[in-house]
Copies of this chain bind each other. A is one copy, B any other.
Amino acid sequence: MIRVLIAEDQAMVRGALVALLRLEDDITVVAEVARGDDVLTAALSSGAEVALLDIELPGCDGLAAAVQLRESHPDCRIVILTTFGRAGYLRRAMDSGASGFLLKDAPATELADAIRRVAKGERVVDPELALTALAGGSNPLTPRERQVLAAALDGATVAEVASSLFLSEGTVRNHLSVAIQKLGVRNRVQAARFAQSMGWL
């Protein structure tokens, strides 16, 4: 019997996934949580063998939860389940110690299969996604550029970004300009959107 923890913020989807896994004889759901910062305690108290983590979670990112889990409960295998097949997400998931990476676009039958294989110690990644992750290359942005871009994502002005990061306005403009050129786009909005679509945030 494989003991599984499910972390997913949308209650309806979470419940549906539980129903899906209940159909399997060799899998039992021992914990469900809605927040990233509940993952650790729930995993410890339930003795989960496999943790199924969404990336977009309130409280704490699924990838961050994976890191915590890996540190204090290294026997628990981790499967990331996410909507977006962003190359950067896959890379970061692997860096976080995940054993599996599944898309919500994948057929429902693959879920139980992936959990079984991960429980046996295998790694499970959509091969096509792995290719695009390799082809896409790695994140060309420096940490500062990421911060500035992330701040610009929701329409903040240069002045706001500057004060929120304790920088000069000119510096912010420089970082933005460099990021725009690296990404080959024409303004900050496109740059921010593109970076996010690649999982570079």
Contacts and interface: CB of A to CB of B under 8 A. Distances in A.
Interface of A: 9-20, 22-23, 81, 83, 102-111, 154-155, 157, 185-193
Nearest to A186: B157
Contacts of A83: 10
B187 A12 contact: no
B16 A20 contact: yes
Given A12-B106, A155-B191, 11 more contacts: A12-B104, A12-B107, A13-B16, A15-B109, A15-B111, A16-B17, A16-B19, A19-B20, A155-B188, A155-B193, A189-B189
Given A15-B20, A17-B16, A154-B193, A104 B10 contact: yes
Nearest to A189: B155
A134 to B, nearest CB: 24
Contacts of A188: 155
A125 B117 CA distance: 41
Given A19-B19, A19-B108, A108-B19, A12 B81 contact: yes
A53 B151 CA distance: 34
Nearest to A15: B108
B187 A155 contact: yes
* Candidate in A16, A107, A190 with the most chain B CB atoms within 10 angstroms: A16
Contacts of A20: 15-16, 19-20
Contacts of A23: 19
Given A154-B190, A154-B193, A190-B154, A108 B16 contact: yes
A9 B83 CA distance: 11
A11 B186 contact: no
A150 to B, nearest CB: 14
